[in-house]
Structure 1
Amino acid sequence: MADLIQYYGTGRRKSAIARVFLRPGSGNFTVNGKQFEEYFVTPAQRAAAKLPLGIADINETFDVLTTVKGGGVNGQADAVKLGIARALMEFNIELRKALKSGGMVTRDARGKERKKYGQKGARARFQFSKR
């Protein structure tokens, strides 16, 4: 079997998990077997997912193959962003400084706030009645 060169990165955001593989190629981008534009519909999602490739200035050098599960599409786009950034750092550690200044090295740790007992939701309270 031929020796396949690829770089791997895992990205997480909220409850979404993305496995990202960068392989030398012509710039194809697939997410869960679908084309990039077919999976990420809005321009904001597309821009968020491709941001690390733009900062590293290597859009057409790699084929990006991702598998994403969990969460919503916006969280998945951010998970793909972190996965691509980590895979790029595995490819070339010199890119870390540029990616870090763009805020793509750190995981966004914000998640859903839990519902508290005796309340309607995480922050929502039942309506107070004085009389």
Structure 2
Amino acid sequence: MVAVVQVNLIVADIDRSREFYERIGVAFVPRHRTGDGPPEAWVSVDTGITFVLHSTGFASWWDESAPRPVPGGPQMDLEVASPAELDRIVGELVAAGATVVKSPADMPFGPTGMRFAIVLDPDGYRVGLKAPLA
């Protein structure tokens, strides 16, 4: 089973974008890769499916591929059952000719970490694949 768990919006100004979505009624919590300093992303808390406003610098940290993520570049994240399942799916996509822009890697997302990869769909949209490590 695959579930849509997150949509990432790469934005030019995360505070301006946060204010826009807050006017619509979305509530956010800040995220920073080290937990210190000004927010590098804003994570929705009341939207059903999480969506995250990412600064380009923060997006470039978790997606170091070229070309770099740019404002207006959406990404949908799908969660799969396990790291082994993620690796299997990526292998099948590669065999079918898909482009992998971030090879599977263990990342410090969430409380227990996630196996994470990014592939391009046939139209070039970024699709993040996540699997809990524990």
Work out which of the two has the higher radius of gyration on C-alpha atoms and give 1 or 2.
1
Q: TM-score normalized by structure 1?
A: 0.30
Higher helix proportion: 1
Structure with the greater relative contact order (CA < 8 A, sep ≥ 6): 1 or 2?
Answer: 1
Q: TM-score normalized by structure 2?
A: 0.30
